[in-house]
Amino acid sequence: MLARIAQELFWLGRDLTRAEHTARMLDGAFHADVAGLPGERGIALSWPGVLAVIGAKAPAPGEDAAEAPELVPWNLGRAEIAPLLTLDTDSPASVVSCISRARERGRTMRDVISTEMWEALNSFYLALGRYDLEAALATGPYSVYQEVKERCALFWGLLERTMLRDEARSFLEAGGRIEDADMVLRMLRVAVPSESIEMEAGHEAEAIGLLQAVGGFQAYRRWVRQVPDLLRVVRFLLYEGNYPGSVASSLAALQQALETADAAPRSSPPVLRLSRLIADLELQRRSPEAGGMLGEMLGRVQDELELIDHDIDERYFAIAALAAVHL
């Protein structure tokens, strides 16, 4: 398929997933804020913490790098950050911006994605325009974020149900899954203090908050059946292949998508690098580790993920970018 279209699909997937994760995270932050969970040590879901997760993101193509919010002083709170990341159309990281970018991409690819997926995307965008979002955010942000989550789920569900298992779908899924892994890693890195985690020293509220912010609280309860302390939760979100939102699951899905899309996966740099990363994670999972290594480990995984992203760009999309430079 066309390299330009493949890249658009990849970023459509990324934008949608980014919107969903942002919504979930903000929802979690609101919850923590309102419920008054202890905030001094637990930086995971403090408002500046949320901003740190999003703020350091490199802009997507089509975003203006200059517009990306600079790292704002740490004293900003709910009143500034929630609207900035939800409805500010000038901020490229906001949920609304992600969705309108995704919709704009979808509009130019109505021939590639299924009609039902396009309609889901379009009505998602139109629904966000209908809301008086500012008012909704002030009174009940829950319903806004709930709608974002449901509409994203609808899109991916329709993909599952109606889209041909072809290259186009693989790139769309690859984008969604790499963003999944990236967002969860960011959250974990913000949540895990750089100094060592003491195994028994709770951070319990923070751990629960983290699980809720990725929508995995119930899954953790059913699978681990132990009190959620930070170390267990981080391990769960990083390694647990049975939980679809974990980094390991996302990477496995990404690998599968790339193998489907690539004509020669055995000699494909992104696939090779990804396979190594997955094997590496599996090895780490099996070896007992000290809490102190964890922060460093998360950093390594994310660096590696960035290289994979770069490889994907090189291998599949660079040929289109060449033409753009030429023009």
Partner 1 sequence: MDVTAQIEDYAVPAGCLDELLDEDGAPRPHAASLVAALLRLGPDALHAAGRRRDAIFMQQGITFQVAGSDGARRDRPFPLDLIPRVLTATEWTVIKRGLAQRIRALNAFVDDVYHAHEIVRAGIVPWSLIVSRPSFARPVHGVRAPGGVYCHVCGCDLVRGGDGIWRVLEDNVRTPSGISYVLENRLAMTRLVPELFSGHRIRPVDHYPTLLLEALRAVAPAADSQPTVVLWTPGPANSAYFEHIFLAREMGIELVEASDLVVRDAACYMRTTAGLQRVHTIYRRLDDDFIDPLEFRPDSLLGVPGLVRAYRAGTVAIANAIGTGVADDKAIYHYVPEMIRFYLDEEPILENVPTYLLSDGKQRRMVLSRLGELVVKPTSESGGKGVFIGPHASVAELEAQARLIEATPERFIAQELVHLSTVPTETGDGRLAPRHVDLRPFAVFGDEIRIVPGGLTRVALKEGSMIVNSSQGGGSKDTWVLDEGEGVDLAPGTLPARRPPRLPDVRYGGWHGQAQQQQQ
What is the nearest approach in angstroms of partner 1 to the Cβ of residue 213? 31
Binding site for partner 1 (CB under 8 A): 1-6, 107-112, 115, 118-119, 122-123, 126, 167, 171, 261, 263, 316-317, 319-320, 322-324, 326-327
Collect all residues with Cβ–Cβ distance below 8 Å to 146 and sequence separation of at least 6: 27
Our measurement of the distance from residue 275's CA atom to the centroid of its chain's CA atoms, rounded to an integer in Å, reads 20
Q: Which is nearer to partner 1, 109 or 207 (CB)?
A: 109
Least distance between partner 1 and beta carbon 118 (Å): 7
**Between 290 and 318, whose beta carbon lies closer to partner 1?**
318
Instruction: State which H helix or E strand residue 104 sits in.
Output: helix 95-107
Output the smallest distance, CB 255 to partner 1, in A.
17
Distances from the Cα of 12 to the Cα of 44, 172, 179, 240, 315, angstroms: 27, 7, 11, 27, 18
For residue 114, CA distances in Å to 9, 35, 155, 168 come to 12, 42, 10, 11
> DSSP code of 265?
G
Handedness of CA 144, 35, 246, 183 (dihedral sign): positive
- We find the least distance from the C-beta atom of residue 322 to partner 1, in angstroms, to be 8
Which residue number, 109 or 197, has a Cβ lying nearer to partner 1?
109
Residue type, 314: E
CA-to-CA distance for 168 and 175, rounded, in angstroms? 11
Of 96 and 247, nearer to partner 1 (C-beta) is: 96
Which pair of tokens denotes residue 19? 């919107």
Cα gap 125→281, rounded to integer Å: 37
In this complex, which beta carbon is closest to partner 1, that of residue 35 or of residue 324?
A: 324
Q: Which ranges constitute the DSSP H helices of 163-290? A: 167-191, 204-214, 217-224, 230-239, 247-261, 269-286
Q: How far is the CB of 37 from partner 1 (least distance, A)?
A: 40
* Closer to partner 1 by Cβ: residue 29 or 172: 172
Find the shortest distance in angstroms from Cβ 170 to partner 1: 10
